[in-house]
Structure 1
Amino acid sequence: MQSIDLPGFGKLDVSVAQSIAFDEMDEGAFRELYQGICRHICARYWPTLTPEQVADMAELMTAAE
């Protein structure tokens, strides 16, 4: 989120879209996104699993290819 100052109106908070392409992110940002995806999958689809278990399953799927 960015704040810009509009003369006569004051500050305006603006959301700026970011790419989620792996090559457009630094490693920390990608890791944060990946963990968030794993948490969402647990909360929405597999509440009996941990985010770490979901990440492990995803890694197993890519290793099989």
Structure 2
Amino acid sequence: MQQIASRRSSKKPKVYLKVIKGGLVPADSYAESQLRAKNYKIGDVIGAELKKLNNPKFNRLLHRIGQLCSANIEAFHGMDAHQVLKRLQWEANIWCEEMGVVVPGVGLAMMRFPMSMSFEEMDDGSRHEVARSMCRFISEKYWPDLDEDQIALMADTWVGE
């Protein structure tokens, strides 16, 4: 479990930057003040982890995939959207971390742990691929009469109760 916890991002305040031709600049006056407060000067070399900010659309899509499955697939009845998503992650080995664990009397066994898909933990590109992979898996295992695009469309338009 320590490996999983170590992959979580720190909750340090972020400075938002905007891409311009050939570089990055502060996104707004607040970002400028954050940089000034750190005493950065022209010519300083700084390290940064860059990621495009998330689009709430993909976060909603994942939640709706869980709701759609809970309401319409018997194997998921009684589960909330979050529980459905974690189970789909585990079943399909989507966005999971695997590690070997020694089981007494058995030997080495591979364990699978679904990683966090929270808004802050995952970027849009990864979130979009996870949603597509889940729709593909649902199509293959639970709804073979539907393709992944049809499931994604159903989830995207799902209103729920």
Global fold match (TM > 0.5): yes
Instruction: Check if 1:42 corresponds to 2:119.
Output: no
Instruction: Check if 1:28 corresponds to 2:125.
Output: yes
Please state which structure has a larger fraction of its residues in helix: 1
Tell me the matched-pair count.
Answer: 51
Give a deviation string over 1:11-58, Cα, whole Å, max 9, x none: xxx848632113321110000110111011001111111101000000
TM-score (norm 1): 0.63
Gaps of 5+ in 2: 1-96, 100-112
Give the CA RMSD over aligned residues.
Answer: 2.4
Q: Once superposed, which parts of structure 1, at least 4 consecutive aligned residues long, lie more than 6 Å away?
A: none
How many Å separate the matches in 1 of 2:120 and 2:153? 22
Within-5 A mapping of 1:1-65: 15=98, 18-62=115-159
Bigger radius of gyration among the two:
2
How many Å separate the matches in 2 of 1:45 and 1:15? 24
Gaps of 5+ in 1: 1-13
TM-score (norm 2): 0.28
